[in-house]
A and B are shown apart, each in its own frame.
Chain A
Amino acid sequence: EAGVAQSPRYKIIEKRQSVAFWCNPISGHATLYWYQQILGQGPKLLIQFQNNGVVDDSQLPKDRFSAERLKGVDSTLKIQPAKLEDSAVYLCASSARLLAGTSLDTQYFGPGTRLTVL
């Protein structure tokens, strides 16, 4: 079974430029997540989708970050304009559903996109 795909793997931009990341989840997975992982820290949730609807985006800096999941499959995360502090790895994850019983369903991660903002 193919895993979560992400592109590009690496991106270097100047501050104030814009950038977009793409994610293709595991086939059939209804729930998709975007995380930000700063060096030396655990991943931090930015936004989660159930099919093509937003479940939670409370930690997404909406003045500069946006995300969409068209047709409930692929997703894109955009940053415009980028700041130095946005340098991080952006991880996409998917799960078959939000809950498995009363617990969260297992999330499977892609390889991530390493963003460097100069």
Chain B
Amino acid sequence: EDQVTQSPEALRLQEGESSSLNCSYTVSGLRGLFWYRQDPGKGPEFLFTLYSAGEEKEKERLKATLTKKESFLHITAPKPEDSATYLCAVGLGDYKLSFGAGTTVTVRA
């Protein structure tokens, strides 16, 4: 059965304190690994797509990496505006996107 698990559920960071979020998956026939950011009361905002193991992508303080079983979202020197829920989603063989439950990140000034 296809599964997507994100950890931790919640992460509290001090401004400037770097950390990583994990997305592990058991999927047959991966059709892309997607990271989204969701602010309270808003829809998910697209961040990255990763297609194959070893791939890395960066945007400002965020860097996403992909292996055959998991993806990491690294947040370097976070700022309060990086506070949000980060969602991981995997593209399945039946052309659907399956989401994890998300990691809620709070960055204190």
Residues in A lying within 8 Å of B, measured CB to CB:
4, 33, 40-45, 48, 55-56, 91, 93, 98-104, 106-112, 114
Give the distance to chain A from B87, nearest Cβ to Cβ, in Å.
Answer: 6
CA distance A91 to B99 in the complex (A): 13
Question: Using Cβ atoms and an 8 Å threshold, which residues of chain A touch B41?
Answer: 111, 114
CA distance A100 to B32 in the complex (A): 10
Contact B51 A103 (CB under 8 A): yes
- What are 30 A-B contacts defined by CB distance under 8 Å? A4-B43, A33-B97, A40-B101, A41-B101, A42-B4, A42-B99, A42-B100, A43-B87, A43-B99, A45-B97, A56-B94, A91-B43, A100-B32, A103-B31, A103-B49, A103-B51, A104-B31, A104-B91, A104-B95, A104-B97, A106-B34, A106-B46, A107-B46, A108-B46, A109-B36, A110-B43, A111-B41, A111-B42, A112-B43, A114-B41
Contact A107 B32 (CB under 8 A): no
Contact A111 B102 (CB under 8 A): no
Residues in B lying within 8 Å of A, measured CB to CB:
4, 31-32, 34, 36, 41-46, 49, 51, 87, 89, 91, 94-102
| Residue ID in chain A nearest B4 by CB atoms | A42
Question: Using Cβ atoms and an 8 Å threshold, which residues of chain A touch B51?
Answer: 101, 103
Contact B96 A109 (CB under 8 A): no
Question: Using Cβ atoms and an 8 Å threshold, which residues of chain B touch A4?
Answer: 43
Give the distance to chain A from B95, nearest Cβ to Cβ, in Å.
Answer: 6
Contact A44 B94 (CB under 8 A): no
